A and B are shown apart, each in its own frame.
Chain A
Amino acid sequence: MKKLINDPAHYVDEALDGLTLAFPSLARDGAAGRVIRRAEGVTSGKVGIASGGGFGHLPLFTGYVGRGLIDTCSIGNVFEGPNIDSCVDAIRLADGGRGVLRLYGNYGGDRMNFDMAGEVLEDEGIRCTTVLGTDDIASGGPDEIGRRRGVAGLIYAYKAAGASADRGADLEEVTRVAAKAVAATRTIGVGLAPCRLPSAAKPSFELAEDEIEMGIGIHGEPGIWRDRLRPADAIADEMVDRLLADLPAHAGSEVSVLVNGLGATPLEELFILYRRVRKRLDDARLNVFQPLVGNYVTSMEMQGASVSLFHLDEELKTLLCAPAECPFWRVS
Protein backbone atom coordinates (compact mmCIF):
# COMPACT_ATOMS: atom_id res chain seq x y z
CA MET A 1 0.00 0.00 0.00
CA LYS A 2 1.98 2.96 -1.26
CA LYS A 3 1.45 6.51 -0.04
CA LEU A 4 2.32 9.86 -1.56
CA ILE A 5 3.66 11.37 1.65
CA ASN A 6 6.78 12.74 3.30
CA ASP A 7 7.30 12.05 7.01
CA PRO A 8 4.26 10.22 8.50
CA ALA A 9 4.58 12.52 11.53
CA HIS A 10 3.80 15.51 9.28
CA TYR A 11 0.91 13.90 7.42
CA VAL A 12 -1.87 15.92 9.03
CA ASP A 13 -0.16 19.29 9.11
CA GLU A 14 1.13 19.11 5.55
CA ALA A 15 -2.31 18.12 4.29
CA LEU A 16 -3.91 21.00 6.21
CA ASP A 17 -1.33 23.39 4.76
CA GLY A 18 -2.26 22.26 1.26
CA LEU A 19 -5.99 22.35 2.00
CA THR A 20 -5.92 25.96 3.19
CA LEU A 21 -3.65 27.04 0.33
CA ALA A 22 -6.04 25.47 -2.18
CA PHE A 23 -9.17 26.87 -0.52
CA PRO A 24 -8.66 30.38 0.86
CA SER A 25 -12.13 30.26 2.46
CA LEU A 26 -10.52 28.03 5.12
CA ALA A 27 -7.97 29.27 7.66
CA ARG A 28 -5.81 27.40 10.15
CA ASP A 29 -5.98 28.64 13.71
CA GLY A 30 -5.90 27.45 17.30
CA ALA A 31 -3.51 25.28 19.27
CA ALA A 32 -0.75 23.98 17.01
CA GLY A 33 -2.82 24.99 13.98
CA ARG A 34 -5.28 22.17 14.58
CA VAL A 35 -8.44 24.20 14.09
CA ILE A 36 -9.88 25.09 10.69
CA ARG A 37 -12.26 28.04 10.71
CA ARG A 38 -13.99 30.15 8.12
CA ALA A 39 -11.38 32.64 6.90
CA GLU A 40 -13.95 35.46 7.06
CA GLY A 41 -14.24 34.85 10.79
CA VAL A 42 -17.15 34.33 13.10
CA THR A 43 -20.53 35.90 12.32
CA SER A 44 -21.53 38.01 15.26
CA GLY A 45 -24.98 37.18 16.56
CA LYS A 46 -25.12 33.76 14.91
CA VAL A 47 -25.10 30.49 16.82
CA GLY A 48 -21.74 28.86 16.18
CA ILE A 49 -21.31 25.24 15.14
CA ALA A 50 -18.06 23.56 16.13
CA SER A 51 -17.21 20.10 14.93
CA GLY A 52 -14.11 17.98 15.15
CA GLY A 53 -12.68 14.54 14.76
CA GLY A 54 -9.74 12.51 13.71
CA PHE A 55 -8.00 13.16 10.42
CA GLY A 56 -8.10 10.77 7.48
CA HIS A 57 -11.74 11.23 6.42
CA LEU A 58 -11.58 14.24 4.12
CA PRO A 59 -13.74 15.96 3.15
CA LEU A 60 -15.14 15.12 6.65
CA PHE A 61 -14.86 16.84 9.05
CA THR A 62 -12.93 19.95 8.30
CA GLY A 63 -13.87 20.23 4.64
CA TYR A 64 -17.40 21.21 5.64
CA VAL A 65 -16.35 24.45 7.26
CA GLY A 66 -18.23 27.07 5.30
CA ARG A 67 -21.28 29.26 4.98
CA GLY A 68 -24.48 27.45 5.92
CA LEU A 69 -22.55 24.51 7.37
CA ILE A 70 -20.07 24.35 10.28
CA ASP A 71 -17.99 27.28 11.51
CA THR A 72 -14.96 25.58 13.01
CA CYS A 73 -13.43 22.15 13.23
CA SER A 74 -10.81 20.73 15.60
CA ILE A 75 -8.53 18.18 14.02
CA GLY A 76 -6.87 15.20 15.63
CA ASN A 77 -4.18 12.95 14.28
CA VAL A 78 -5.18 10.24 11.85
CA PHE A 79 -8.15 8.33 13.32
CA GLU A 80 -7.60 9.93 16.77
CA GLY A 81 -9.94 12.39 18.41
CA PRO A 82 -8.92 16.05 18.50
CA ASN A 83 -7.02 17.00 21.63
CA ILE A 84 -8.60 19.13 24.34
CA ASP A 85 -6.73 22.30 23.37
CA SER A 86 -8.00 22.20 19.80
CA CYS A 87 -11.56 21.52 21.01
CA VAL A 88 -11.37 24.52 23.36
CA ASP A 89 -10.15 26.69 20.50
CA ALA A 90 -12.73 25.38 18.02
CA ILE A 91 -15.53 26.29 20.45
CA ARG A 92 -14.06 29.72 21.23
CA LEU A 93 -13.53 30.52 17.55
CA ALA A 94 -17.09 29.48 16.68
CA ASP A 95 -18.66 31.68 19.33
CA GLY A 96 -20.48 34.67 17.91
CA GLY A 97 -22.10 35.53 21.20
CA ARG A 98 -25.16 33.25 21.02
CA GLY A 99 -23.62 29.98 22.08
CA VAL A 100 -22.04 27.05 20.29
CA LEU A 101 -23.39 23.69 19.20
CA ARG A 102 -20.81 20.92 19.37
CA LEU A 103 -21.76 18.60 16.52
CA TYR A 104 -19.54 15.59 15.88
CA GLY A 105 -19.50 11.82 15.56
CA ASN A 106 -20.09 9.45 18.46
CA TYR A 107 -16.56 8.28 19.30
CA GLY A 108 -15.00 7.97 22.76
CA GLY A 109 -11.96 10.22 22.30
CA ASP A 110 -13.95 12.95 20.57
CA ARG A 111 -16.57 12.90 23.32
CA MET A 112 -14.06 13.07 26.15
CA ASN A 113 -12.13 15.96 24.65
CA PHE A 114 -15.19 18.01 23.69
CA ASP A 115 -16.68 17.38 27.13
CA MET A 116 -13.49 18.44 28.89
CA ALA A 117 -13.26 21.48 26.62
CA GLY A 118 -16.79 22.44 27.70
CA GLU A 119 -15.73 22.13 31.34
CA VAL A 120 -12.74 24.41 30.66
CA LEU A 121 -14.97 27.00 28.94
CA GLU A 122 -17.74 27.05 31.55
CA ASP A 123 -16.01 29.91 33.33
CA GLU A 124 -15.83 31.96 30.12
CA GLY A 125 -19.59 31.99 29.84
CA ILE A 126 -19.79 30.30 26.43
CA ARG A 127 -22.99 28.28 26.35
CA CYS A 128 -22.50 24.92 24.67
CA THR A 129 -24.81 22.14 23.61
CA THR A 130 -23.89 18.78 22.09
CA VAL A 131 -25.38 16.61 19.36
CA LEU A 132 -23.61 13.42 18.33
CA GLY A 133 -23.82 11.78 14.91
CA THR A 134 -25.13 8.22 15.37
CA ASP A 135 -26.20 7.17 11.88
CA ASP A 136 -24.29 3.89 11.41
CA ILE A 137 -26.90 1.15 11.70
CA ALA A 138 -24.25 -1.61 11.71
CA SER A 139 -22.84 -0.42 15.03
CA GLY A 140 -25.86 -0.98 17.24
CA GLY A 141 -29.47 -2.13 17.11
CA PRO A 142 -32.51 0.16 16.86
CA ASP A 143 -32.87 -0.12 20.65
CA GLU A 144 -29.38 1.29 21.25
CA ILE A 145 -29.18 4.13 18.74
CA GLY A 146 -27.23 6.24 21.24
CA ARG A 147 -24.36 3.76 21.01
CA ARG A 148 -24.12 3.90 17.24
CA ARG A 149 -21.14 5.52 15.55
CA GLY A 150 -21.37 8.63 13.44
CA VAL A 151 -20.38 8.16 9.80
CA ALA A 152 -21.23 9.74 6.44
CA GLY A 153 -24.73 10.87 7.41
CA LEU A 154 -23.21 13.48 9.71
CA ILE A 155 -23.02 15.85 6.75
CA TYR A 156 -26.83 16.04 6.67
CA ALA A 157 -26.80 17.22 10.29
CA TYR A 158 -24.15 19.81 9.35
CA LYS A 159 -26.38 21.01 6.53
CA ALA A 160 -29.59 21.22 8.53
CA ALA A 161 -28.04 22.77 11.64
CA GLY A 162 -25.92 25.15 9.55
CA ALA A 163 -28.99 26.37 7.66
CA SER A 164 -30.90 26.83 10.92
CA ALA A 165 -28.04 28.85 12.45
CA ASP A 166 -27.78 30.97 9.28
CA ARG A 167 -31.46 31.86 9.57
CA GLY A 168 -30.78 33.36 12.98
CA ALA A 169 -32.23 30.58 15.13
CA ASP A 170 -31.14 30.46 18.76
CA LEU A 171 -28.96 27.75 20.31
CA GLU A 172 -31.86 25.61 21.51
CA GLU A 173 -33.45 25.65 18.06
CA VAL A 174 -30.21 24.87 16.20
CA THR A 175 -29.60 22.03 18.64
CA ARG A 176 -33.13 20.69 18.12
CA VAL A 177 -32.68 20.77 14.35
CA ALA A 178 -29.30 19.00 14.54
CA ALA A 179 -30.75 16.28 16.76
CA LYS A 180 -33.74 15.91 14.44
CA ALA A 181 -31.44 15.58 11.41
CA VAL A 182 -29.34 12.93 13.15
CA ALA A 183 -32.47 11.03 14.13
CA ALA A 184 -33.64 11.11 10.50
CA THR A 185 -30.41 9.68 9.06
CA ARG A 186 -29.35 6.07 8.56
CA THR A 187 -26.12 4.80 6.98
CA ILE A 188 -24.51 1.49 6.20
CA GLY A 189 -21.06 0.89 4.72
CA VAL A 190 -19.35 -1.90 2.85
CA GLY A 191 -15.57 -2.42 2.74
CA LEU A 192 -13.66 -4.04 -0.12
CA ALA A 193 -10.09 -3.34 0.96
CA PRO A 194 -8.46 -1.71 4.00
CA CYS A 195 -6.44 1.45 4.39
CA ARG A 196 -3.11 1.84 6.17
CA LEU A 197 -2.41 4.54 8.71
CA PRO A 198 0.66 6.56 7.75
CA SER A 199 2.51 5.52 10.92
CA ALA A 200 1.51 1.84 10.81
CA ALA A 201 3.46 -0.89 9.08
CA LYS A 202 0.39 -2.92 8.16
CA PRO A 203 -3.14 -2.20 6.91
CA SER A 204 -5.75 -1.38 9.54
CA PHE A 205 -7.46 -4.74 9.00
CA GLU A 206 -7.10 -7.78 6.80
CA LEU A 207 -9.55 -8.81 4.15
CA ALA A 208 -8.96 -11.60 1.65
CA GLU A 209 -8.66 -10.63 -2.02
CA ASP A 210 -12.14 -11.98 -2.82
CA GLU A 211 -13.81 -10.88 0.43
CA ILE A 212 -15.97 -7.91 1.40
CA GLU A 213 -17.20 -6.76 4.79
CA MET A 214 -20.76 -5.50 5.20
CA GLY A 215 -21.28 -2.85 7.87
CA ILE A 216 -17.66 -1.76 8.18
CA GLY A 217 -16.91 1.48 10.04
CA ILE A 218 -14.90 4.42 8.73
CA HIS A 219 -11.91 3.33 10.81
CA GLY A 220 -12.24 -0.27 9.70
CA GLU A 221 -14.33 -1.23 12.73
CA PRO A 222 -15.72 -4.74 12.33
CA GLY A 223 -19.05 -4.97 10.56
CA ILE A 224 -21.89 -7.48 10.29
CA TRP A 225 -20.45 -10.18 8.04
CA ARG A 226 -17.56 -11.06 5.77
CA ASP A 227 -18.14 -13.07 2.67
CA ARG A 228 -17.22 -13.44 -0.99
CA LEU A 229 -17.45 -10.42 -3.24
CA ARG A 230 -20.73 -10.31 -5.13
CA PRO A 231 -22.20 -8.12 -7.89
CA ALA A 232 -22.84 -4.45 -7.10
CA ASP A 233 -26.61 -4.87 -7.43
CA ALA A 234 -26.66 -7.59 -4.79
CA ILE A 235 -24.61 -5.44 -2.43
CA ALA A 236 -26.85 -2.41 -3.09
CA ASP A 237 -29.93 -4.55 -2.46
CA GLU A 238 -28.70 -5.68 0.92
CA MET A 239 -27.67 -2.16 1.95
CA VAL A 240 -31.07 -0.73 0.98
CA ASP A 241 -32.88 -3.64 2.65
CA ARG A 242 -31.04 -3.01 5.88
CA LEU A 243 -31.64 0.75 5.72
CA LEU A 244 -35.35 0.32 5.05
CA ALA A 245 -35.64 -2.19 7.88
CA ASP A 246 -34.35 0.50 10.26
CA LEU A 247 -36.66 3.43 9.57
CA PRO A 248 -36.78 6.43 11.91
CA ALA A 249 -40.02 6.90 13.82
CA HIS A 250 -41.47 9.59 11.57
CA ALA A 251 -40.15 8.49 8.18
CA GLY A 252 -42.20 9.84 5.33
CA SER A 253 -42.16 9.31 1.60
CA GLU A 254 -39.17 11.42 0.68
CA VAL A 255 -35.43 10.93 1.22
CA SER A 256 -32.15 12.40 0.20
CA VAL A 257 -29.64 9.66 -0.53
CA LEU A 258 -25.87 9.81 -0.28
CA VAL A 259 -23.83 7.16 -2.06
CA ASN A 260 -20.42 7.84 -0.62
CA GLY A 261 -17.01 6.54 -1.63
CA LEU A 262 -14.66 5.50 1.18
CA GLY A 263 -11.57 6.76 -0.63
CA ALA A 264 -10.29 4.39 -3.31
CA THR A 265 -13.48 3.32 -5.04
CA PRO A 266 -13.92 5.03 -8.41
CA LEU A 267 -16.88 7.27 -9.13
CA GLU A 268 -17.92 4.86 -11.87
CA GLU A 269 -18.55 2.16 -9.27
CA LEU A 270 -20.42 4.62 -7.04
CA PHE A 271 -22.75 5.45 -9.93
CA ILE A 272 -23.27 1.73 -10.63
CA LEU A 273 -24.25 1.41 -6.96
CA TYR A 274 -26.44 4.52 -7.08
CA ARG A 275 -28.29 3.24 -10.15
CA ARG A 276 -29.47 0.20 -8.21
CA VAL A 277 -30.09 2.06 -4.94
CA ARG A 278 -32.28 4.50 -6.85
CA LYS A 279 -34.28 1.70 -8.43
CA ARG A 280 -34.87 0.09 -5.06
CA LEU A 281 -35.98 3.39 -3.52
CA ASP A 282 -38.29 4.00 -6.46
CA ASP A 283 -39.73 0.51 -5.97
CA ALA A 284 -40.29 1.34 -2.30
CA ARG A 285 -42.16 4.47 -3.43
CA LEU A 286 -39.69 6.78 -1.82
CA ASN A 287 -39.18 10.05 -3.65
CA VAL A 288 -35.47 10.85 -3.94
CA PHE A 289 -34.57 14.50 -3.44
CA GLN A 290 -31.12 16.05 -3.98
CA PRO A 291 -29.08 12.86 -4.25
CA LEU A 292 -25.35 13.02 -3.57
CA VAL A 293 -22.83 10.68 -5.17
CA GLY A 294 -19.10 11.06 -4.53
CA ASN A 295 -16.40 11.04 -1.88
CA TYR A 296 -17.94 12.95 1.02
CA VAL A 297 -16.58 10.96 3.98
CA THR A 298 -13.58 8.73 3.40
CA SER A 299 -11.23 6.45 5.24
CA MET A 300 -8.04 7.38 3.38
CA GLU A 301 -7.49 4.74 0.68
CA MET A 302 -10.10 2.30 1.92
CA GLN A 303 -12.02 0.68 -0.91
CA GLY A 304 -15.74 0.58 -0.46
CA ALA A 305 -18.81 2.73 -0.14
CA SER A 306 -21.60 3.72 2.17
CA VAL A 307 -25.22 4.50 1.52
CA SER A 308 -27.06 7.04 3.67
CA LEU A 309 -30.74 7.88 3.71
CA PHE A 310 -31.85 11.23 5.09
CA HIS A 311 -35.58 10.94 5.73
CA LEU A 312 -37.15 14.29 4.95
CA ASP A 313 -40.13 16.23 6.14
CA GLU A 314 -40.93 19.75 4.99
CA GLU A 315 -38.70 21.35 7.60
CA LEU A 316 -35.64 19.23 6.85
CA LYS A 317 -36.22 19.57 3.11
CA THR A 318 -36.25 23.35 3.39
CA LEU A 319 -33.04 23.30 5.41
CA LEU A 320 -31.41 20.95 2.91
CA CYS A 321 -32.25 23.41 0.10
CA ALA A 322 -30.89 26.48 1.91
CA PRO A 323 -27.77 28.06 0.41
CA ALA A 324 -24.47 26.63 1.64
CA GLU A 325 -20.95 26.66 0.40
CA CYS A 326 -17.79 24.88 1.42
CA PRO A 327 -14.97 23.50 -0.72
CA PHE A 328 -16.69 20.13 -1.12
CA TRP A 329 -20.42 20.86 -1.13
CA ARG A 330 -22.34 23.73 -2.61
CA VAL A 331 -26.08 24.33 -2.51
CA SER A 332 -27.30 27.50 -4.21
Chain B
Amino acid sequence: MELTVFQIAEGVSRAARAMAGLEQELNAADAKLGDGDTGSMLARVIGAMAASEPQAAGSVSDVFGRLARAGMSATGSSLGTLFASSLLGLSKQTREWERVDWEDLSSLLAAARDGMMARGNAKLGDKTVLDALDAVAAAVAGEVDAEGAARAAREAVDRVILEFRGRPCRMGRAKFFAEKSVGLDDPGMLAFVALTKAVAELPQNAT
Protein backbone atom coordinates (compact mmCIF):
# COMPACT_ATOMS: atom_id res chain seq x y z
CA MET B 1 0.00 0.00 0.00
CA GLU B 2 1.07 3.54 -0.70
CA LEU B 3 2.56 5.75 1.99
CA THR B 4 0.83 9.08 1.49
CA VAL B 5 1.48 12.73 2.23
CA PHE B 6 -1.71 12.71 4.28
CA GLN B 7 -0.44 9.90 6.49
CA ILE B 8 2.88 11.64 7.07
CA ALA B 9 1.14 14.94 7.86
CA GLU B 10 -1.18 13.11 10.23
CA GLY B 11 1.85 11.55 11.94
CA VAL B 12 3.42 14.98 12.39
CA SER B 13 0.19 16.28 13.83
CA ARG B 14 0.04 13.41 16.32
CA ALA B 15 3.66 13.97 17.30
CA ALA B 16 2.99 17.68 17.86
CA ARG B 17 0.00 16.90 20.07
CA ALA B 18 2.01 14.33 22.02
CA MET B 19 4.80 16.83 22.70
CA ALA B 20 2.49 18.87 24.93
CA GLY B 21 2.61 16.06 27.45
CA LEU B 22 6.15 14.92 26.72
CA GLU B 23 8.02 18.23 26.88
CA GLN B 24 8.78 18.39 30.58
CA GLU B 25 9.13 14.59 30.87
CA LEU B 26 11.89 14.66 28.25
CA ASN B 27 13.45 17.75 29.82
CA ALA B 28 13.60 15.88 33.13
CA ALA B 29 15.21 12.82 31.50
CA ASP B 30 17.74 15.08 29.79
CA ALA B 31 18.54 16.92 33.04
CA LYS B 32 19.92 13.65 34.42
CA LEU B 33 22.46 13.30 31.62
CA GLY B 34 22.51 16.57 29.71
CA ASP B 35 21.27 20.10 30.15
CA GLY B 36 17.55 19.52 30.50
CA ASP B 37 16.18 20.94 27.27
CA THR B 38 15.55 18.00 24.93
CA GLY B 39 11.77 18.23 25.44
CA SER B 40 11.57 21.97 24.85
CA MET B 41 13.79 21.73 21.79
CA LEU B 42 11.71 18.93 20.25
CA ALA B 43 8.46 20.72 21.09
CA ARG B 44 9.73 23.70 19.13
CA VAL B 45 11.06 21.59 16.22
CA ILE B 46 7.94 19.46 15.86
CA GLY B 47 5.73 22.51 16.34
CA ALA B 48 7.58 24.21 13.46
CA MET B 49 7.17 21.06 11.35
CA ALA B 50 3.44 20.94 12.04
CA ALA B 51 3.17 24.62 11.11
CA SER B 52 4.92 24.05 7.77
CA GLU B 53 1.65 22.73 6.30
CA PRO B 54 2.93 19.26 5.45
CA GLN B 55 -0.53 18.24 4.25
CA ALA B 56 -0.20 20.73 1.39
CA ALA B 57 2.94 19.06 -0.01
CA GLY B 58 2.72 17.72 -3.53
CA SER B 59 4.66 14.53 -2.94
CA VAL B 60 6.30 12.44 -0.23
CA SER B 61 9.65 13.94 -1.22
CA ASP B 62 8.20 17.42 -0.88
CA VAL B 63 6.71 16.71 2.54
CA PHE B 64 10.05 15.39 3.82
CA GLY B 65 11.73 18.52 2.44
CA ARG B 66 9.23 20.85 4.13
CA LEU B 67 9.66 19.10 7.45
CA ALA B 68 13.46 19.18 7.14
CA ARG B 69 13.59 22.90 6.39
CA ALA B 70 11.18 23.71 9.22
CA GLY B 71 13.24 21.64 11.64
CA MET B 72 16.56 23.11 10.54
CA SER B 73 15.24 26.63 11.02
CA ALA B 74 13.95 25.80 14.48
CA THR B 75 17.15 24.46 16.04
CA GLY B 76 20.87 23.88 15.78
CA SER B 77 20.95 21.26 18.52
CA SER B 78 22.63 17.93 17.75
CA LEU B 79 19.49 15.83 18.00
CA GLY B 80 17.27 18.32 16.16
CA THR B 81 19.83 18.85 13.42
CA LEU B 82 20.33 15.12 12.92
CA PHE B 83 16.57 14.58 12.79
CA ALA B 84 16.06 17.39 10.26
CA SER B 85 19.05 16.51 8.11
CA SER B 86 17.90 12.89 7.89
CA LEU B 87 14.54 14.11 6.60
CA LEU B 88 16.37 16.18 3.99
CA GLY B 89 18.19 13.00 2.97
CA LEU B 90 14.88 11.17 2.60
CA SER B 91 13.52 14.02 0.51
CA LYS B 92 16.47 13.79 -1.87
CA GLN B 93 16.29 10.00 -1.98
CA THR B 94 12.60 9.94 -2.95
CA ARG B 95 12.67 12.93 -5.31
CA GLU B 96 12.31 10.90 -8.49
CA TRP B 97 9.99 8.29 -7.06
CA GLU B 98 6.52 8.07 -8.53
CA ARG B 99 5.16 6.63 -5.32
CA VAL B 100 6.40 5.47 -1.93
CA ASP B 101 4.98 2.29 -0.45
CA TRP B 102 4.88 1.09 3.13
CA GLU B 103 7.21 -1.66 1.99
CA ASP B 104 9.83 1.03 1.33
CA LEU B 105 9.68 2.32 4.91
CA SER B 106 12.33 -0.04 6.25
CA SER B 107 14.93 0.92 3.68
CA LEU B 108 14.11 4.61 4.02
CA LEU B 109 14.57 4.45 7.80
CA ALA B 110 17.81 2.56 7.28
CA ALA B 111 19.03 5.30 4.94
CA ALA B 112 18.07 7.93 7.53
CA ARG B 113 20.00 5.97 10.15
CA ASP B 114 23.09 5.81 7.93
CA GLY B 115 22.88 9.53 7.16
CA MET B 116 22.65 10.35 10.86
CA MET B 117 25.62 8.11 11.62
CA ALA B 118 27.72 9.86 8.98
CA ARG B 119 26.74 13.33 10.15
CA GLY B 120 26.85 12.79 13.89
CA ASN B 121 29.70 10.28 14.16
CA ALA B 122 27.74 8.01 16.52
CA LYS B 123 27.75 4.26 16.08
CA LEU B 124 25.14 1.61 16.68
CA GLY B 125 25.40 0.46 20.27
CA ASP B 126 26.31 3.90 21.60
CA LYS B 127 22.85 4.14 23.21
CA THR B 128 21.47 6.97 21.12
CA VAL B 129 18.42 7.63 18.98
CA LEU B 130 20.19 5.61 16.28
CA ASP B 131 19.71 2.34 18.12
CA ALA B 132 15.98 2.95 18.35
CA LEU B 133 15.79 4.00 14.71
CA ASP B 134 17.74 0.91 13.72
CA ALA B 135 15.38 -1.32 15.69
CA VAL B 136 12.33 0.19 13.99
CA ALA B 137 13.93 -0.01 10.54
CA ALA B 138 14.51 -3.73 11.08
CA ALA B 139 11.09 -4.33 12.62
CA VAL B 140 9.04 -2.80 9.82
CA ALA B 141 10.84 -4.78 7.10
CA GLY B 142 8.26 -6.74 5.16
CA GLU B 143 5.31 -4.78 6.50
CA VAL B 144 3.08 -3.72 3.64
CA ASP B 145 0.59 -1.40 5.28
CA ALA B 146 0.22 1.24 7.98
CA GLU B 147 -1.29 -1.12 10.53
CA GLY B 148 1.45 -3.70 10.30
CA ALA B 149 4.21 -1.12 10.35
CA ALA B 150 2.66 0.66 13.34
CA ARG B 151 2.38 -2.56 15.34
CA ALA B 152 5.94 -3.63 14.51
CA ALA B 153 7.32 -0.17 15.34
CA ARG B 154 5.56 -0.04 18.72
CA GLU B 155 6.89 -3.45 19.67
CA ALA B 156 10.39 -2.54 18.52
CA VAL B 157 10.62 0.67 20.57
CA ASP B 158 9.27 -1.03 23.69
CA ARG B 159 11.98 -3.65 23.29
CA VAL B 160 14.87 -1.34 22.48
CA ILE B 161 14.39 1.04 25.40
CA LEU B 162 14.55 -1.88 27.85
CA GLU B 163 17.46 -3.47 26.03
CA PHE B 164 19.60 -0.33 26.33
CA ARG B 165 18.56 0.95 29.75
CA GLY B 166 21.28 -1.02 31.53
CA ARG B 167 24.01 0.02 29.14
CA PRO B 168 26.26 3.11 29.27
CA CYS B 169 25.87 6.07 26.90
CA ARG B 170 28.84 6.44 24.59
CA MET B 171 27.78 9.60 22.77
CA GLY B 172 26.61 13.10 23.58
CA ARG B 173 27.18 14.83 26.87
CA ALA B 174 26.48 11.66 28.81
CA LYS B 175 29.55 9.95 27.35
CA PHE B 176 31.75 11.92 29.72
CA PHE B 177 30.20 10.15 32.65
CA ALA B 178 29.21 6.89 31.01
CA GLU B 179 28.80 4.77 34.14
CA LYS B 180 26.30 7.28 35.52
CA SER B 181 24.10 6.70 32.47
CA VAL B 182 23.65 2.98 33.25
CA GLY B 183 20.05 2.51 34.34
CA LEU B 184 18.92 5.78 32.74
CA ASP B 185 17.26 6.21 29.37
CA ASP B 186 19.11 8.24 26.76
CA PRO B 187 16.93 11.33 26.24
CA GLY B 188 17.12 11.17 22.44
CA MET B 189 16.24 7.49 22.40
CA LEU B 190 13.43 8.06 24.90
CA ALA B 191 12.07 10.87 22.72
CA PHE B 192 12.15 8.66 19.63
CA VAL B 193 10.39 5.87 21.49
CA ALA B 194 7.66 8.14 22.85
CA LEU B 195 7.09 9.86 19.52
CA THR B 196 7.03 6.57 17.61
CA LYS B 197 4.34 5.34 19.96
CA ALA B 198 2.38 8.56 19.49
CA VAL B 199 2.64 8.42 15.71
CA ALA B 200 1.93 4.67 15.54
CA GLU B 201 -0.84 4.74 18.12
CA LEU B 202 -3.67 3.82 15.77
CA PRO B 203 -3.75 2.26 12.34
CA GLN B 204 -3.73 4.91 9.66
CA ASN B 205 -6.35 3.89 7.15
CA ALA B 206 -6.80 7.18 5.39
CA THR B 207 -5.24 7.52 2.02
- Whether the Cβ atoms of A202 and B31 lie closer than 8 Å is yes
**Which residues of B from 147 to 174 have beta carbons under 8 Å from A?**
172-174
- Whether the Cβ atoms of A79 and B31 lie closer than 8 Å is no
A85 and B180 CA atoms in complex are apart in Å by: 36
Given the interface pairs A80-B75, A83-B72, A108-B78, the reply to whether A197 lies near B37 with Cβ below 8 Å is yes
Contact of A204 among B35, B74, B82, B120 (CB under 8 A): B35
- Whether the Cβ atoms of B36 and A205 lie closer than 8 Å is yes
Most chain B CB within a 10 A radius of its CB, from A32, A81, A200: A200
Query: Per-position contact with B for A106-122: 1 when CB-CB < 8 Å, else 0?
Result: 01111011001000000
Q: Is B142 interfacial (CB-CB < 8 Å)? A: no
Q: Is A139 interfacial (CB-CB < 8 Å)? A: yes
- Smallest CB gap from A195: residue in B: B35
- Smallest CB gap from A108: residue in B: B78
- Whether the Cβ atoms of B37 and A86 lie closer than 8 Å is no
Q: Is B28 interfacial (CB-CB < 8 Å)? A: yes
Q: Which residues of A contact B7 (CB under 8 A)?
A: none
A74 and B73 CA atoms in complex are apart in Å by: 13
- Smallest CB gap from B76: residue in A: A81
A217 and B36 CA atoms in complex are apart in Å by: 14
Q: Which residues of A contact B27 (CB under 8 A)?
A: 197, 199-202
A204 and B28 CA atoms in complex are apart in Å by: 9
Q: Is B187 interfacial (CB-CB < 8 Å)? A: no
Q: Is B92 interfacial (CB-CB < 8 Å)? A: no
- Whether the Cβ atoms of A83 and B73 lie closer than 8 Å is yes
**Which residues of B from 24 to 59 have beta carbons under 8 Å from A?**
24, 27-28, 31-37, 40-41, 44
- Whether the Cβ atoms of A84 and B72 lie closer than 8 Å is yes
Query: Per-position contact with B for A86-120: 1 when CB-CB < 8 Å, else 0?
Result: 11000000000000000000011110110010000
Show 13 residue pairs from A and B whose CB-CB distance is below 8 angstroms, ordered by the A residue: A78-B37, A80-B37, A81-B75, A81-B81, A82-B76, A83-B76, A87-B76, A116-B85, A140-B176, A200-B37, A204-B37, A217-B173, A219-B173
Question: Can you name 10 extra interface pairs (CB under 8 A) apart from A76-B75, A80-B41, A204-B31?
Answer: A77-B76, A81-B76, A81-B77, A81-B78, A107-B78, A113-B81, A204-B35, A206-B31, A222-B33, A222-B177
